[in-house]
Amino acid sequence: MLNNIGLPGILLIAVVVLVLFGRGKISSLMGEVGKGITSFKKGVADGTKEIEEAGEDAADAAKDVTPDAEKDKA
């Protein structure tokens, strides 16, 4: 269904959204989305840094959480 929208359809949807919500509301919403993306990237970087600081053994343990009984079934 969404494969058939095309550029005119996307422009029409953008105009309708702009009319319904107004420029100020959309601007503040996009600001919140940007803050969320920044926070997510910071969390991923902090998690990666924490794993690197913990050492190689901790990283290996964090990668495989499958119980030993389940590993033999494959």
Per the structure, the complete domain to which residue 37 belongs is given by: 23-61
42 assigned to some structural domain: yes
Total number of domains constituting the chain: 1
28, 29, 32, 36 alpha-carbon torsion, rounded to 10°: -160
Q: How far apart are CA 73 and CA 35, in angstroms?
A: 44
Angle at 6 (CA atoms; ends 3, 11), nearest 5 degrees: 130
71 assigned to some structural domain: no
Q: Which two tokens stand for residue 51?
A: 């794993």
35 assigned to some structural domain: yes
Write out the chain's pLDDT in tens, 74 residues.
567 888 889 899 989 988 888 888 888 888 999 999 999 999 999 988 887 777 666 656 666 667 777 666 65
Q: How far apart are CA 64 and CA 58, in angstroms?
A: 10
73 assigned to some structural domain: no
Q: How far apart are CA 18 and CA 36, in angstroms?
A: 22
What is the model's pTM?
0.50
